[in-house]
Amino acid sequence: MEFKKENIKAIIGLGNPGQKYYKNRHNIGFRVVDEIANRLGLNWLKKDNLEYAKNSFYLIKPQTFMNNSGQVLNFLLKKGILPEQILVVHDELEKKFGQVAIKFGGSARGHNGLKSIIGVIGSDFYRLNVGIGRPQDRAQVSNYVLSNFTLNEESQIEFFINNAVDLILNS
């Protein structure tokens, strides 16, 4: 299915709550939705287990920690939002650092935030993958995603976040 912004009613950025996690690789979803809110002049509101901002669509930051991200979906389902009207922004180990792409459906590929969401609504939703690269040693994946970007990566991250936001808002 082709992605069209006007068909999206909710954008969920995946991450872990709290300032200490903000610059982690796993939190790139939060950073992308924060930039969308910034560009659109939206303010974040708190409700139960999420932060949200409202425009013609909802921006959502789950406050449940990554592995329980799906808990925020009841908020959207009660508003009549269908899975195919949701875009989830998340980090992607299988893409090189900074690559961004939108796709529809698919598996969680080991991503616990996606597993949690799929457990609630199935796999038929849009995903914006933001490449974070992968450590050479598979045993280091957990530490890698919970580590901050390097200084070199952080110097480039604003550019990649802006690319991701442009891809969403200009589609």
pLDDT one-digit tens code per residue, 113-164: 999 999 999 999 999 999 999 998 988 999 999 999 999 999 999 999 999 9
Mean residue pLDDT across the chain: 95
Q: What are phi and psi of 15, to 5 degrees?
A: 180, -175
- Which of 26, 31, 111, 127 is an active site residue? 26
Q: What's the pLDDT at 110? A: 87
Over residues 82-97, the mean pLDDT reads 96
Location of structure tokens 């920690």: 65
CB–CB of 20/71 below 8 Å?
A: no
111 part of the active site:
no
How does pLDDT run across 52-71, given as a tens digit for each residue? 999 999 999 999 999 999 99
| Number of residues written out for the chain | 171
| Of 63, 69, 66, nearest in space to 119 by CA | 69
CATH topology assigned to domain 5-169 = Rossmann fold (3.40.50)
* Neighbouring C-beta atoms of residue 82, cutoff 10 Å: 14
Single out the residue of 130, 52, 51, 63 nearest to residue 90, CA to CA.
Answer: 130
